[in-house]
Amino acid sequence: MALKVNVNKRKVIAGENEGKEFFYGNVVTDGTMEFDELCRQISTACTITQADVIGVLEALRQVYRSHLLNGDIVKLGGVGTIRLTASSRGVDDKSNFHISLMKPARLIYRPGKHLLQAAQEATFRRNAQHVVKDECPLPHTGDF
């Protein structure tokens, strides 16, 4: 149980080492956990059946949807908080303002305590299959 890390060569774009090539590690994802699998795991961890878990999550969706559209901040337990926000283009005078000047709403997510802790406790492992880009492992003429 650790995050998979690929190491790649990258040019440094700013700072004292600008232009030099350094090696950086990056986390890569390792497959997905789909909704059904998530529901199955939840139902094994508590007394509620898988079908009921799906029902709860579906009802949950409807509840937070209406709260979001109402401008409320929704706390989803340890998962985090979500809210909608939006701002508008500017006008010279308040009386010139029209609702059509509003930019599209954006969803703001802030991870909760549990997920932040999970992030902090995450460990890393090197991806053994990964080959560094631009680094060909074969010997070349002129190398020696």
35-45 and 50-69 helices, crossing angle to 10°: 110
- Restricting to residues 19-78, name those near another protein by CB under 8 A: 20, 22-35, 38, 41-43, 45-48, 52-53, 55-78
Please identify which residue in 13, 14, 18, 89 interacts with another protein, judged by CB under 8 A. 89
CB of 122 to another protein, least distance (A): 4
Closest by CA position to 12, among listed 21, 3, 4: 21
- Restricting to residues 110-129, name those near another protein by CB under 8 A: 111-112, 114-116, 118-126
* CA separation for the pair 45, 110 (Å, rounded): 25
Binding mask 94-113 for another protein (x = CB under 8 A): x--x-x-xx-xxxx-x-xx-
- How are beta strands 124-126 and 3-11 bridged, if at all? parallel
Nearer to another protein, 45 or 138 (CB): 45
Please identify which residue in 13, 16, 19, 93 interacts with another protein, judged by CB under 8 A. 93
* CA separation for the pair 73, 128 (Å, rounded): 43
